[in-house]
């Protein structure tokens, strides 16, 4: 259900981009909006996906653990009273400062933008999400700590629905500003999706099993939180800053360059989103194995998941490269989005797809580093090295090849970060076999190259875009299946249907006694808050 809601949110995000392309095309207006879009992108990373969860999930887990032994009062409600007002005040002030300082922010992010005034207006509308996203992240962390996962998984469905609805209603009087207003509306809807579930949990607290661990003192807890959050925030900022570099370098280019980069990136990253969903859903298994003192079981699971994620993303990347112009034509070429925009976006998309395997490996490998509750700076250093590479290669790339050169620099930088993370993974809490993984990924990349060529040839003579994309995808999948089934020393990939079936209630009823990794209780949250922190209903 979580994966399904996440996929639905991603599909609605694609529909949102299609509506924007049809109504506003790829030009000065969309470039201005996408500069303002930087604010919700950063706010989402820090306040929903990473930092807020890392601070609050452990705090709520400790409060839940103390609930059974509390002599008076409810520790969870006390935590809410002590933290929520401060967070609302601090980030409310930050949102006001951002709205007031919007002209300075736009000048710093995109100094060559043709219409900075429009970007300032859009930034002031999107700036409201600093407060709303903070409330979203707070609710998500609290609900995950209580074992409630469906409301947090539905937030991006509500978010994108709010943006789409606002564009449809306000497009005529406001133009592209309606999309920025939709960000503000979507942020409120994300809060409303989760708030009722959290209020029910706070009104009717469930008694939980006490955790056999002495609670840390307040000072120790603060030190632990700061030590744990700093490396992860640094990693997230470095990873998200690649978008800043792209838009900074693209702002002096002809109008539409930022939009072409955005449309290409959103479509090309769909395979990465689907592949990382596999790792996200299976991450609790890895965490339980580590909690049970079984790093070997964790290693096996991580290696299988990495290879399976690589198959998913490479199949998608091969299809994107083979049929990029047909995909863009099918999705976007209508209304204000012209054939010239299709050609430019497809060229960028093909280059972006070269870095998809690196993007996926970074998202998956970082779990090996952050699965243990101790600060690790190596991932941030690896991302910083990739960021420097992106910037260094992007300057000449933008000068000589425009948006395509910027996309190539992005692919080069993220691939370097992935290689660095892979080389250092064997020394972490999950000691993966680097040589084994590297050999498997190389063989899968070889299959991807053959599949790309076969898919490209297969769709050349087909007139219909929809049929051409379908044929290219089928050919790519067929080549991969043949490779995995017949090639010598092909990586061993677990069948996805069997893996999914083993997690269903029917399969669990027919299993033997659970393994030590699965039976062990989870006493602390891994970084990212993916694991339930009490033993309530799932």
Supply the pLDDT for residue 193. 94
The single residue listed with the structure tokens 């090639």 is 487
**Burial class of residue 306 in the structure, from the number of CB atoms within 10 Å of its CB (0-12 exposed, 13-18 middle, 19+ buried):** buried
Contact 432, 368 (CB under 8 A): yes
Q: How does DSSP assign 419-481, residue by residue? A: HHHHHHGGGSSS---HHHHHHHHHHHHHHHHHHHHHHHHHHTT---HHHHHHHHHHHHHHHHH
Cα 91 to Cα 108: distance, rounded to the nearest angstrom = 22
Supply the pLDDT for residue 535. 32
Cα 352 to Cα 321: distance, rounded to the nearest angstrom = 9
Token code pair at residue 412: 């080069």
Instruction: Name the 3-class secondary structure at 524.
Output: coil
Cα 50 to Cα 275: distance, rounded to the nearest angstrom = 19
DSSP letter at 205 equals P
Contact 374, 230 (CB under 8 A): no
Token code pair at residue 82: 């002590």
- pTM of the entire predicted model: 0.71
DSSP letter at 112 equals T
Length of the chain: 538
Token code pair at residue 233: 């925030």
Supply the pLDDT for residue 26. 83
Supply the pLDDT for residue 471. 94
Token code pair at residue 316: 């998608």
Cα 155 to Cα 233: distance, rounded to the nearest angstrom = 22
Supply the pLDDT for residue 105. 92
Mind listing the pLDDT tens digit for each residue in 378-405? 888 999 999 999 999 999 999 999 999 9
Below-70 pLDDT ranges, the chain:
50-51, 53-55, 58, 68-73, 204-229, 276-292, 370-375, 428-430, 487-538
| Cα of 23 vs its chain's centroid, Å | 27
Supply the pLDDT for residue 191. 94
Supply the pLDDT for residue 328. 92
Token code pair at residue 307: 């290879």
CA distances (Å), 273 to each of 270, 280, 390, 405, 440, in order? 5, 10, 22, 24, 21
């Amino acid at each position: 259900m979580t994966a399904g809601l996440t996929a639905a949110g991603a599909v609605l995000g694609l529909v949102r981009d299609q509506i924007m392309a049809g109504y506003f095309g790829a030009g000065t207006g969309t470039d201005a909006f996408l500069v303002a879009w930087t604010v919700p992108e950063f706010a989402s990373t820090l306040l929903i996906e990473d930092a807020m969860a890392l601070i609050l999930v452990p705090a709520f887990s400790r409060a839940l653990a103390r609930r059974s032994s509390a002599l008076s009062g409810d520790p969870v409600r006390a935590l809410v009273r002590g933290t929520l007002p401060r967070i609302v005040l601090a980030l409310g002030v930050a949102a006001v400062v951002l709205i007031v300082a919007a002209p300075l922010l736009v000048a710093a992010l995109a100094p060559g933008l043709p219409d900075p005034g429009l970007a300032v207006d859009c930034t002031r509308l999107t700036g409201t999400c600093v407060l709303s996203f903070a409330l979203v992240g707070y609710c998500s962390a609290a609900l995950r700590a209580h074992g409630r996962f469906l409301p947090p998984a539905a937030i991006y469905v509500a978010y994108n629905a709010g943006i789409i609805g606002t564009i449809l209603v306000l497009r005529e009087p406001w133009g592209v500003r309606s999309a920025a207003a939709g960000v503000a509306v979507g942020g409120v809807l994300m809060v409303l999706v989760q708030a009722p579930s959290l209020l029910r949990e706070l009104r009717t607290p469930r008694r939980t099993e006490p955790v056999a661990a002495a609670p840390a003192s307040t000072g120790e807890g603060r030190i632990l939180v700061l030590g744990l959050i700093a490396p992860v925030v640094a990693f997230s900022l470095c990873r998200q800053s690649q978008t800043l570099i792209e838009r900074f370098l693209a702002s002096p280019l002809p109008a539409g360059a930022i939009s072409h980069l955005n449309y290409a990136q959103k479509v090309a990253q769909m395979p990465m989103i689907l592949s990382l969903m596999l790792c996200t859903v299976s991450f609790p298994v890895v965490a339980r194995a580590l909690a049970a003192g079984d790093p070997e079981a964790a290693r096996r699971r991580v290696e299988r998941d990495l290879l399976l994620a690589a198959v998913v993303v490479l199949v998608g990347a091969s299809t994107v490269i083979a049929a990029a112009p047909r995909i863009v034509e099918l999705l976007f070429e209508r209304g204000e989005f012209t054939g010239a925009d299709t050609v430019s976006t497809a060229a960028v998309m093909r280059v972006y797809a070269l870095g998809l395997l690196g993007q996926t490996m970074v998202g998956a490998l970082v779990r090996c580093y952050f699965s243990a509750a101790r600060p690790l700076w190596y991932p941030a250093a690896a991302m910083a090295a990739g960021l420097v590479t992106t910037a260094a290669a992007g300057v000449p790339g933008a000068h000589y090849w425009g948006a395509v050169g910027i996309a190539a620099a992005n692919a080069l930088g993220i691939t370097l970060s992935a290689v660095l993370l892979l080389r250092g993974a064997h020394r972490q809490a999950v000691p993966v076999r680097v040589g084994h993984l590297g050999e498997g990924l190389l063989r899968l990349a070889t299959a991807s190259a053959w599949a790309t060529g076969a898919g490209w040839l297969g769709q050349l003579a087909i007139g219909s875009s929809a049929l051409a994309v379908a044929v290219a995808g089928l050919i790519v999948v067929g080549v991969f299946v043949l490779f995995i089934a017949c090639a010598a020393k092909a990586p061993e990939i677990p069948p996805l249907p069997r893996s999914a079936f083993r997690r269903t209630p029917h399969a669990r009823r027919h299993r033997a006694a659970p393994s030590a990794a699965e039976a062990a209780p989870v006493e602390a949250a891994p970084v990212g808050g993916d694991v339930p922190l009490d033993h309530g209903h799932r």
